[in-house]
A and B are shown apart, each in its own frame.
Chain A
Amino acid sequence: MIHAAVLSGFVLAVFAPAIQRRWPKAGSWMLSLLPFGLAVLFASHIGEEPVRESTAWIPALGADLAFRLDGLGLVFALIISAVGAFVLIYAGGYLKGHRHLGRIQCFLLLFMASMLGVVLADNLVALFVFWELTSVTSYLLIGFDHEREKSRAAALQALLVTGFGGVAMLAGALLLQQITGTLSIEGVLGQGETIRAHALYVPALLLILLGAFTKSAQFPFHFWLPNAMEAPTPVSAYLHSATMVKAGIYLMARLSPALGGTDWWFGLLVTGGAVTMLAGAVLAFGKSDLKQILAYSTVSALGMLTFVLGIGGEAGARAAVVLLIAHSLYKGALFMAAGAVDHEAGTRMIEDLGGLRGAMPVTAAAALGAAVSMAGLPPLFGFIAKELFYEAAEVHPVLLACAVATGILTVGAAGLVAIRPFFGRAVQTLKHAHEAPSSLWLGPAALAAGGIVFGLFSGTAAGGLVAGAASSVAGIPVTAELGLLHGINLTLLLSAFTAVAGVALYASADRIRPLLRPVVGSLAWGPAGWYDALLASMMRFATFQTRLLQNGLLPHYLRVTLGMAILLIGVALVRGTGPPQKNLLTDVRLHEAVVGILILAGAFSSVRATSRLAAITSLGVVALGLAMTFVLFGAPDLAMTQFLVETLTVILLVLVIYKLPAYTQKSSDRTRLRDAIVSVIAGSLFTVLVLGVTSMQLAPEISDYYIENSEKLAHGRNIVNVILVDFRGLDTLGEITVLSIAAVGVYALLKLRPHKEEPS
């Protein structure tokens, strides 16, 4: 069942462009039927026991395509499929007539299926697979407006930042496997105590949190999220507020029973969360672009989630789940409403908007409903979320203060996005605004209505859902008796204070916001600047390194290659070769010495020669010396061949040299001296190797076989020839092949020339 639920999205995605092309108007509505159906399917599971399904993938490595539907997965799956359905419809209206509408629907469906995979996977590898797929689809979606350079850069930035976290998370997951011996999430959760006591606990935790923090835009990795607003609004509403950015939250929530409850966990999550929620809230309040305000307030909300997960316990778990649901509802609605405004009025800057409620009543109502929830005012679901948030933060006054400060700023931001554009004096906008088509207001209206329903009937509508999910997060059964009124207590007083202070803040927004500008500048661009600097320095280093190594000069390449050979061989020799122990042939006879010196002299003079002919002659002398050596030591056949080959070589060389420019000295004295030293070192290594090998020589036993059997079995008296044609005939086959191909090569080189080049 779960397999089918996850995979169906992938299948439909393949056909989405065709469907969209065939039915340009109704296509989006048709596509949305699948996520609606999935939402209904998941909803029917509320309150039921967890279901597990598994298909083997690489069983030997413990990587299975395993899924498990439990309370936490259910909440996420519902959000993903329900919001997904509205977003598909919304995208159909928002991008009506766009040439790539089919593609965006395809990517959205791919994303939806991947995201369902993330939250339902019960295997860390499967989770990672879907996790990366969400990053990739996000890349393709942010870059949707691909002809703009800014879109491309934002897409890349999001991919690199989340990709960086992704690989860290993979390493962390594999460390967990080292600790627990399993990749099954259920199995990992069952060994919480072992994990927390293990020496690898802290590295594993850090790596996994790196994955979660980058994906969920926690400070200092938050900067990619506002930049991702380059994406079309349906994408922002879906990926970058309601679902994908919550994958990191999901991961932390999912693993908290195994990894949570330690000082490390508390310290990292609470600090990271607190900084993120405060910074996000300040930045949101300081921005003017509707989408930017919403993006930063999303960052802030993600910080709140991390914060309460860090606090943990029953209160933390409950707060996290309720915040999550409330945020997905109101933020999805607000994004879509903002998109509708942009679509109809032609701008998203709050300074240029105002009084649209007359022209766009439905959108205005939806936005207002959602914003009230965002501000945490009763009777909406956001109010309950904020109550629980404060309740969880009561563990320490400082944390509580942070929470309340965030709450106040959030009220201000909610006012900016929902009151500024729709109320007050009507402003002349770029386009003449009128109500958006139904496809554009259906989503925001439905989600905003959800916030109201969940708020008014929280006990019945959300109680079971929240209790199940919170139990998964806390690792123990958690009850959730949700309601708007819990009597007069600290949180209620703080809520009241928040509301009053928030309204006051909004009322004086025009005076305070300009003051925020320097803060906004430094906070917003600090970490983003680090990213740019890191990327730039990486590129500088890459260029520098490539210029240094791959500079196009063959002599340089040869020097480095030779240097490496010297290094490898020399070090190995120095590591422990003794002096040669025994030698087979140490005495030297005079004529042998003469031959040896002849070879050396030939080599030396071929190096020193100043004319080409002299160099070639010296080379001939070397070859002659070699042939004589062969004669002296029982190899007349070899000597003959050597002589023959050398004659041919010299003829060829002489034919060639007169087509080449005369010898000149091109390198400086210093270069030549350096090369000479390096060459002599390399040569000496070979001397040492020869001496070493001859001293350790084992009896050449296989040769005796040839001597014995050459005539007997192979019927030949010239043993060398017999070896060549019979014992090792395959070598000779290769040799002939080389010669023939060389002939083909010479022919082709001389005859086949590019058209433009005239043969000289």
Chain B
Amino acid sequence: MIYLLAVVIGGLYSAGFYMMARRSLLKLVIGLALLSHATNLLIFTVSGVSRGRPPLIPDGQALAGGVSDPLPQALILTALVISFGILAFALALVLRTNESVGTDDLDEMRTTEQ
């Protein structure tokens, strides 16, 4: 399974990087979203995936072994929310940029660098 997940992660990164290098604003945002998915899956995978039970302590009894690692899950949760916030902002930025520049072509956006 590790091999498969590793390939999936690689695939997600490749897709993300490819989309980010496009000239369209929207594609760029999709690339960012893919990148964030790839990273979340990476954290999840490298911390030792197991087909363990969820890290929930049943009522009134101690938790036996075979639980999946709770820490990376917490990290991913934090990262998910953060990247959602940033994605929302990025979308607003896309919207306003497109409106102000009048195109979504990144090649047209070099007036500040000439």
Smallest Cβ distance from B17 to chain A, in angstroms?
A: 4
Q: Beyond A678-B17, A694-B48, A700-B69, is A657–B26 a contact (Cβ under 8 Å)?
A: yes
Q: Report whether A649 and B77 are in contact in the complex, using a CB–CB cutoff of 8 Å.
A: no
In the complex, A738→B83 CA distance in Å? 9
In the complex, A583→B3 CA distance in Å? 9
Q: Report whether A638 and B30 are in contact in the complex, using a CB–CB cutoff of 8 Å.
A: no
**What are 6 A-B pairs at a CB distance below 8 A?**
A555-B107, A633-B49, A649-B84, A663-B26, A676-B18, A707-B63
- Of the candidates B12, B55, B100, the one whose C-beta lies within 8 Å of that of A603 is B12
Q: Report whether B6 and A690 are in contact in the complex, using a CB–CB cutoff of 8 Å.
A: yes
Q: Beyond A636-B54, A690-B45, A719-B56, is A587–B1 a contact (Cβ under 8 Å)?
A: yes
In the complex, A745→B49 CA distance in Å? 37
Q: Report whether A746 and B89 are in contact in the complex, using a CB–CB cutoff of 8 Å.
A: yes
In the complex, A691→B8 CA distance in Å? 12
**Chain A contacts with B in 663-703, Cβ cutoff 8 A:** 663-664, 666-667, 675-676, 678-680, 682-687, 690-691, 693-694, 697, 700, 702-703
Residue of A nearest to B23 (CB): A666
**Chain B contacts with A in 1-51, Cβ cutoff 8 A:** 1-30, 33-34, 37-38, 40-42, 44-51
Q: Report whether A739 and B94 are in contact in the complex, using a CB–CB cutoff of 8 Å.
A: no
Residue of A nearest to B83 (CB): A645
Ranked nearest first, the 6 interchain pairs of A and B with the lowest CB-CB distance are A552-B110, A683-B14, A634-B68, A687-B10, A552-B113, A742-B85
Residue of A nearest to B85 (CB): A742
- Of the candidates B9, B10, B77, the one whose C-beta lies within 8 Å of that of A638 is B77
Q: Report whether A749 and B74 are in contact in the complex, using a CB–CB cutoff of 8 Å.
A: no
- A497 at interface by CB-CB < 8 Å: no
Q: Report whether A742 and B8 are in contact in the complex, using a CB–CB cutoff of 8 Å.
A: no
- A615 at interface by CB-CB < 8 Å: yes
In the complex, A358→B59 CA distance in Å? 119
- A562 at interface by CB-CB < 8 Å: yes
**Chain A contacts with B in 703-760, Cβ cutoff 8 A:** 703, 706-707, 710-711, 717-720, 723-724, 728, 731-732, 734-735, 738-739, 741-743, 745-746, 749-750, 757, 760
B78: chain A residues within 8 A (beta carbon) = 724, 728, 731-732, 734-735
Looking at chain A's contact residues, the main secondary structure is helix
- Of the candidates B21, B47, B51, B112, the one whose C-beta lies within 8 Å of that of A675 is B21
Q: Beyond A691-B3, A702-B71, is A686–B22 a contact (Cβ under 8 Å)?
A: no
In the complex, A185→B113 CA distance in Å? 50
Q: Report whether A554 and B50 are in contact in the complex, using a CB–CB cutoff of 8 Å.
A: no
In the complex, A717→B49 CA distance in Å? 21
B-binding segment of A32-40, A132-140, A166-174, A604-612: A604-612
Q: Report whether A592 and B86 are in contact in the complex, using a CB–CB cutoff of 8 Å.
A: no
A743: chain B residues within 8 A (beta carbon) = 85, 88
Smallest Cβ distance from A172 to chain B, in angstroms?
A: 41
Residue of B nearest to A593 (CB): B4
| Other A-B pairs beyond A629-B41, A638-B44, A653-B91, 8, CB < 8 Å | A553-B106, A635-B68, A660-B25, A666-B105, A675-B21, A683-B15, A690-B10, A717-B58
Q: Report whether B68 and A633 are in contact in the complex, using a CB–CB cutoff of 8 Å.
A: yes
Q: Beyond A648-B84, A746-B92, is A634–B41 a contact (Cβ under 8 Å)?
A: no
B-binding segment of A221-229, A270-278, A618-626: A618-626
Looking at chain B's contact residues, the main secondary structure is helix
- A588 at interface by CB-CB < 8 Å: yes
- Of the candidates B13, B59, B85, B87, the one whose C-beta lies within 8 Å of that of A682 is B13
- A630 at interface by CB-CB < 8 Å: yes
Q: Report whether B91 and A738 are in contact in the complex, using a CB–CB cutoff of 8 Å.
A: no
B29: chain A residues within 8 A (beta carbon) = 653
- A56 at interface by CB-CB < 8 Å: no
Q: Report whether B2 and A586 are in contact in the complex, using a CB–CB cutoff of 8 Å.
A: yes
Smallest Cβ distance from A334 to chain B, in angstroms?
A: 52
Q: Beyond A679-B15, A690-B45, A720-B73, is A659–B1 a contact (Cβ under 8 Å)?
A: no
B residues touching A (Cβ–Cβ < 8 Å)?
Answer: 1-30, 33-34, 37-38, 40-42, 44-59, 63, 67-71, 73-78, 80-82, 84-89, 91-96, 98-100, 103-107, 109-110, 112-114
User: A395-411 vs B: 1/0 string, CB under 8 Å?
Assistant: 00000000000000000
Q: Report whether A717 and B42 are in contact in the complex, using a CB–CB cutoff of 8 Å.
A: no
Smallest Cβ distance from A649 to chain B, in angstroms?
A: 6
Tally of A interface residues using CB under 8 Å: 102
Q: Beyond A553-B110, A679-B17, A742-B88, is A717–B57 a contact (Cβ under 8 Å)?
A: yes
Q: Beyond A551-B110, A596-B8, is A738–B94 a contact (Cβ under 8 Å)?
A: no
- A487 at interface by CB-CB < 8 Å: no
Cβ-Cβ contact count across A and B, 8 Å cutoff: 306
- Of the candidates B20, B77, B85, the one whose C-beta lies within 8 Å of that of A724 is B77
Smallest Cβ distance from B27 to chain A, in angstroms?
A: 8
Residue of B nearest to A759 (CB): B99
A724: chain B residues within 8 A (beta carbon) = 74, 77-78
In the complex, A324→B3 CA distance in Å? 82
B37: chain A residues within 8 A (beta carbon) = 622-623, 626
In the complex, A156→B22 CA distance in Å? 45
A757: chain B residues within 8 A (beta carbon) = 100
Q: Report whether A656 and B95 are in contact in the complex, using a CB–CB cutoff of 8 Å.
A: yes
B47: chain A residues within 8 A (beta carbon) = 700
Q: Report whether B14 and A680 are in contact in the complex, using a CB–CB cutoff of 8 Å.
A: yes
- Of the candidates B9, B68, B82, the one whose C-beta lies within 8 Å of that of A735 is B82
Smallest Cβ distance from A734 to chain B, in angstroms?
A: 8
Q: Beyond A593-B4, A596-B4, is A635–B71 a contact (Cβ under 8 Å)?
A: no
Residue of A nearest to B51 (CB): A633
In the complex, A635→B87 CA distance in Å? 24
Smallest Cβ distance from A737 to chain B, in angstroms?
A: 9
In the complex, A550→B95 CA distance in Å? 25
A697: chain B residues within 8 A (beta carbon) = 46, 48
- A584 at interface by CB-CB < 8 Å: yes
Q: Report whether A584 and B50 are in contact in the complex, using a CB–CB cutoff of 8 Å.
A: yes
- A642 at interface by CB-CB < 8 Å: yes
B24: chain A residues within 8 A (beta carbon) = 663-664, 666
Q: Report whether B91 and A652 are in contact in the complex, using a CB–CB cutoff of 8 Å.
A: yes
- Of the candidates B19, B42, B55, B107, the one whose C-beta lies within 8 Å of that of A690 is B42
In the complex, A562→B21 CA distance in Å? 10
B3: chain A residues within 8 A (beta carbon) = 583, 586, 588, 691
- A641 at interface by CB-CB < 8 Å: yes
In the complex, A588→B12 CA distance in Å? 19
In the complex, A628→B40 CA distance in Å? 13
Smallest Cβ distance from B62 to chain A, in angstroms?
A: 8
- Of the candidates B38, B44, B52, B91, the one whose C-beta lies within 8 Å of that of A686 is B38
- Of the candidates B52, B75, B93, the one whose C-beta lies within 8 Å of that of A633 is B52
- A637 at interface by CB-CB < 8 Å: yes
- Of the candidates B70, B85, B92, the one whose C-beta lies within 8 Å of that of A723 is B70
In the complex, A24→B45 CA distance in Å? 82
A645: chain B residues within 8 A (beta carbon) = 80-81, 84
Residue of A nearest to B13 (CB): A683
In the complex, A550→B110 CA distance in Å? 10
- A515 at interface by CB-CB < 8 Å: no
Q: Report whether A666 and B107 are in contact in the complex, using a CB–CB cutoff of 8 Å.
A: yes
In the complex, A439→B87 CA distance in Å? 75
- A585 at interface by CB-CB < 8 Å: yes
B14: chain A residues within 8 A (beta carbon) = 603, 676, 679-680, 682-684
A666: chain B residues within 8 A (beta carbon) = 22-24, 105, 107
